[in-house]
Amino acid sequence: MADGLADGPWAELLVALPLAGMLLALPLGGRQAHRLALLVLAAGPVLALLLAAQLWQGGVVGVALGGFAAPLGIALRADGLSVLMLLTTAVVLCATGLAARAGFAPRPGQGETRAGLLFWPLLLALWGALNAVFLGNDLFNLYVALELLTLAAVPLVCIEGKPEAVAAALRYLLFALLGSVLYLLGAALLYGAHGTLDITLLAARLQPGPATWMAGALMTAGLLAKTALYPLHLWLPPAHAAAPAAASAVLSALVVKASFFILLRLWFDVMPALAGLGGATLLGGLGTAAILAGSLLALRQERLKLAIAYSTMAQLGYLFLMFPLAGGGTEAQPWSAGAWTGGVLHAVSHALAKAAMFLVAGLVLQAAGHDRIRALQGLGRAMPVAVFAFGLAGLSLMGLPPSGGFVAKWLLLTAALASGQWWWAVPMLAGGLLAAGYVFRLLNPALSAGEGQGWRPVRRRWQAIPLALALLSVALGLAPLLPYLLLGLGRSPAAEEGLG
């Protein structure tokens, strides 16, 4: 790749382009907004790869917008973790945008619907907010990005106007607002105590004290509410189940990962010295509860989308095992890199697999008019590609080889045993068995010999979209070396140590 391409303004474009596209799509409406959105989304993977090349050649990318350095200006920072999340986001949103054409693209001879008018600007706004989170280097700017993310995500839940979706969106909004208030209070305490919210400057100035501890606790609680970690998960299943399939895909795959990403920044970059055993154990314990409770609840559901939503709750729990296993951000333990890499790879593989599952659920609703699990006999014969995609995505959730979920959970399991914290391996193994239970329970009627009733035809090209995402979730397990090397760029010593 030419040096000029590797030195371009890719970080700035990843934030500015989707927001500019949103502003242009709002007045356009109709077919023009749909085409513009798909064109802008198509640029996402290209820009993310160009930023990855820039990072690979020159190290961590830092940008001061307008030439104003921190703490006065808006600072962007891209390291290996940022680039991997940006690339995952771009791929998932491209696939979601293509799949959403079936429900939200205007059709010849039909009038424009409210949902079709609003979906594309909201999708672009959500993409811009996610990119701002993954590139932000200031805790207040991250708050602004989270608020923009909420403003885009909540309307997507109830964009079709169904009563149950409106109720779910209101519950989501209440939890999101609670999380925002707690996060902002914590940020205000940090600013009052240390005079800056820039992550780099704050990490250098941070001193333990009552204000710092209180700020960390408030911000963590707020971010946990937005991530829907058990027991703050009450908004997630109804919101993800009631939203349109395309919205559910991005909510489950990406939106809940944004607040988790900020938690990583907070405890590994800003407050590594404060990330003690007690707090890390508490987060790991909540993650364990999420794995077990979410999996058991997924087994009891009668609707496909609700089962997938509770599965999201369970799979999020694995991410929080990173905290006790990776140790504090300044600790260089032989197992730390395994835990760090395993957690991040799980976030990526889960994003790809869960987006595929929700898109398949949307096709089921299109073909059958319902998503009742027991009434899906013969689905495998009616939509073989979609069912195959669902099964491949299920491999990643179960942690079976050669999927990305297998590599991620194997690294977490290895870190637990290498560090002598074998008890964290128990929920990982139990969660894998429970995941196998609910995945097979969902697949069993689809693969039965029944003919089904009244299946409407679904074109193979629509089924190919979730299949591509599911294949990527498996391919991630076949080539984990590059993501591992990329993750080491710009990370703390805890993320750079080898497994030994």
The answer to whether the CB of 416 falls within 8 A of the CB of 287 is no
For 209-226, give the secondary structure using H, E and C: CHHHHHHHHHHHHHHHHH
Model pLDDT, residue 191: 92
- Residue 458, SS3 per DSSP: coil
Single out the residue of 128, 137, 107 nearest to residue 30, CA to CA.
Answer: 107
Instruction: Count helices and strands (H / E) in the chain.
Output: 23, 2
CB neighbour burial string for 167-196, b if at least 16 within 10 angstroms, e if fewer: ebbebbbebbbbbbebbbbbbebbbebbeb
Model pLDDT, residue 185: 96
Domain ranges in the chain are 1-174+233-266, 283-500
Model pLDDT, residue 329: 44
Model pLDDT, residue 142: 94
Single out the residue of 220, 256, 466, 231 nearest to residue 347, CA to CA.
Answer: 256
Could you report the average pLDDT of every consecutive run of 10 residues in the chain (500 residues)? 59 92 81 86 94 86 73 81 94 94 69 74 95 94 94 93 92 95 95 89 86 92 95 93 93 95 90 75 94 95 94 95 74 68 92 96 88 86 91 92 90 89 93 94 83 72 93 85 70 48
Single out the residue of 360, 398, 394, 393 nearest to residue 379, CA to CA.
Answer: 360
Q: What is the model's pTM?
A: 0.93
Single out the residue of 95, 90, 92 nearest to residue 17, CA to CA.
Answer: 90
For residue 35, the surrounding DSSP H or E stretch is: helix 30-58
Model pLDDT, residue 276: 67
Q: What is the DSSP string of 82-99?
A: HHHHHHHHHHHHHHHHHH
